[in-house]
Amino acid sequence: VATLLVDAADSTGGQIYARAPGTTWDAGLPPAVVAGARADLLDVRLGTAAWGAFGDRVALVTGERTRLTQPAAIVLATGAIERPVPFPGWDRPGVAAPGALQRLLKVAQVVPNGPIVLAGSGPFLFAVGADLRRAGADVRAIVERRTRRQLIGLVPALARRADRLREAAGFGRTLRGVQLRFGVDVVAVDDSTVALSDGSRIEADVVAAGYGFAPRLELARLLGLAVTEGAVAVDASLTTSRTGVFAAGETTGIGGAPLAAIEGRLAGLAAAAFLGRPVDEARRGRLHATRDAHLRFAQALARAYPPVPVLGAATPETTICRCEHISLGALRRSFSQPLATDDPRAAKAELRCAMGACQGVICGEAIRSAIGFAGPEGDRRGPRARPPAMPVTVGAVAACDSTWAG
């Protein structure tokens, strides 16, 4: 077998094609996505997480069994997470990230009961709102913190992209009748309402709070890859700082599904060239031109929706570290002592922040911001990459085969 395709999820295709597991790995994927895939050369392992990198070996776990594999080349495409932004009530039952509601819908066909409010920032609120409405959910409102005027800058970019324009028009039609509020923030969520920055409240049993995406970097860090501005650093051919390791999609920067798909193909070609296989340069050139067009759109989106300050709405009582129940006030009190440092590792040692199941994936940015840590990636006081990249049982680590036996 030439290529091992590993995904921790139970179906292929990542977030956008999330679905209930099918009978074959490609069931339910659009033909364009699987075009050219040679099933006879692929070993697809679903429900398999890459949890560690040790020298040139990568540890993979399926169920209770770990195997070490020694790939000749790696294409890393671990995607993104939704950027967690704490506010009063963000940890209440009924408050979730939009992607969580979307996943419930796509994978389990579950539609939440009661009025739903989607709030935060970014076009994903509209995409999920439209999905929920099509499924019959009671979508009451979409609350976007950017004003309509601030979003005007997107118009020329949309005008150049017929596919995106059609998508946006489709959202508009599906969401007709839903309250759309621009230029307001969520300030708190209680049992039955969302409180907004203009003093108004909207009834909601379910709140989906979304503030864009952040590249998922646990495995990249374990592989020792250079990270710039929160994303895996790649050159034009999608080669990372480590020989033989390539990266594609959201882990290299947030750019949307069509860009991720093109980058996947380009990174695959780069890996093939690295392994001495012939590569069709004309095809590579066409893919690069398409990638550039997608990148320009991604840049326009990034300008229209700049990142929300992570602690903009948090109060001293707001829980920051959900696993260990540490509030913003507790963090600040602890780090305002004389001799206090802005060292995130000290926060860990002192308060157990980021020691729980999420290992800092959910709370890391908020903790660094709360204690005033402004160090760059790789700063010796910053978070240190340690396996496992994903939760794994001690039993699975102990039952480790040192050879990939299939």
Ligand X SMILES: Cc1cc2nc3c(=O)[nH]c(=O)nc-3n(C[C@H](O)[C@H](O)[C@H](O)COP(=O)(O)OP(=O)(O)OC[C@H]3O[C@@H](n4cnc5c(N)ncnc54)[C@H](O)[C@@H]3O)c2cc1C
Distance CA 340, CA 128 (A): 43
Q: Contact 309/145 with Cβ under 8 angstroms? A: no
By the rule CB under 6 A, 7 interacts with ligand X: yes
Closest separation between CB of residue 251 and ligand X, Å? 6
Closest separation between CB of residue 265 and ligand X, Å? 12
Footprint on residues 270-329 left by ligand X (CB under 6 A): none
Distance CA 29, CA 41 (A): 18
Identify the residue among 58, 59, 81, 313 touching ligand X (CB under 6 A): 81
Identify the residue among 14, 86, 112, 120 touching ligand X (CB under 6 A): 14
- 196's CB contacts (< 8 A; 6+ apart) are 143, 181, 184, 185, 186, 187, 202
Question: Which of 209, 250, 247 has the alpha carbon at shortest distance from 230?
Answer: 250
Identify the residue among 26, 144, 185, 250 touching ligand X (CB under 6 A): 250
By the rule CB under 6 A, 84 interacts with ligand X: no
Give the helix/strand (H/E) hosting 192: none
- 47's CB contacts (< 8 A; 6+ apart) are 7, 8, 9, 10, 62, 63
Please identify, among the stretches 2-10, 284-292, 311-319, 330-338, the one whose residues bind ligand X according to the rule CB under 6 A.
Answer: 2-10
Number of residues near ligand X (by CB under 6 A): 28
Q: Considering beta carbons, is residue 104 or 184 the nearer one to ligand X?
A: 104
* Structural tokens at position 90: 């963000």
Please identify, among the stretches 13-21, 150-158, 269-277, 294-302, the one whose residues bind ligand X according to the rule CB under 6 A.
Answer: 13-21
Helix (H, G, I), strand (E, B) or coil at 207: strand
Helix (H, G, I), strand (E, B) or coil at 326: strand
By the rule CB under 6 A, 77 interacts with ligand X: yes
- Give the x-and-dash track for 125-164 against ligand X (CB under 6 A): --x-------------------------------------
Which residues form the interface with ligand X (CB under 6 A)? Answer: 6-9, 14-16, 49-50, 77-82, 99, 102, 127, 213, 216, 219, 249-250, 256-257, 260, 389-390
